[in-house]
């Protein structure tokens, strides 16, 4: 019998054998469904969040209330995606501790439910099915990725982005 990834022509982005619940810093990028500009616009190289963008921002900053061992690094909401750093600490280590995949799933679920309630589109996709993740291996990498996230609005290329779906 074929696996789920074979049935749906999906491949895992995760590092084989890596424990994504272990302490460390992780860079994630989560893209809106069909790259629709749902969360606001870049104006004068600054991100101006709309109501959906505010929901996304709130859902991100609320994550440590659900996962006590989670700290947040740099984060930005862009018109059609988010970039953020999730830091899992050694605190509260337990066998049932959730890892990065569960935390990303929860973020997508929390934000999508609130957005879809406002859109009156319950069950409609807000986020792309997958996400990009990168294990941050040292402080230099953390600094470089933090700089990238913080400067992402100023580097937005308007002509290459998909138009809004709102």
Residue 153 has φ and ψ, to the nearest 5°, of -60, -40
What is the pLDDT, as a whole number, of residue 66? 94
pTM metric for this prediction:
0.85
For 104-143, how does the pLDDT look when each residue is reduced to its tens digit (9 = 90+)? 999 999 999 999 999 999 999 999 999 999 999 999 999 9
What is the pLDDT, as a whole number, of residue 15? 64
What is the pLDDT, as a whole number, of residue 18? 78
Domain 19-155 CATH superfamily: Transposase IS200-like (3.30.70.1290)
Q: For residue 4, is pLDDT > 70?
A: no
Give the mean pLDDT of 153-162. Answer: 71
Residue spans of the domains in the chain: they are: 19-155
Q: For residue 96, is pLDDT > 70?
A: yes
């Amino acid at each position: 019998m074929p696996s789920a990834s074979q049935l749906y022509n999906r491949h895992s982005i995760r590092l084989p054998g890596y424990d994504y619940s272990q302490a460390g810093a992780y860079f994630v990028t989560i893209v809106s469904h069909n790259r629709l500009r749902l969360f606001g616009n870049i104006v004068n190289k600054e991100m101006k969040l709309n109501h959906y963008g505010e929901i996304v921002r709130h859902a991100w900053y609320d994550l440590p209330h659900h996962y006590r061992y989670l700290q947040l690094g740099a984060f930005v909401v862009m018109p059609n995606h988010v970039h953020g750093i999730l830091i899992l600490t050694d605190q509260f280590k337990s066998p049932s501790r959730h890892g990065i995949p569960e935390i990303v799933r929860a973020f997508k679920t929390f934000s999508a439910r609130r957005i879809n309630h406002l859109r009156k589109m319950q069950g409609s996709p807000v986020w792309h099915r997958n996400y990009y993740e990168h294990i941050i291996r040292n402080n230099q990498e953390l600094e470089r990725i933090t700089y990238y996230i913080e400067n992402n609005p100023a580097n937005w290329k308007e002509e290459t982005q998909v138009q809004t779906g709102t």
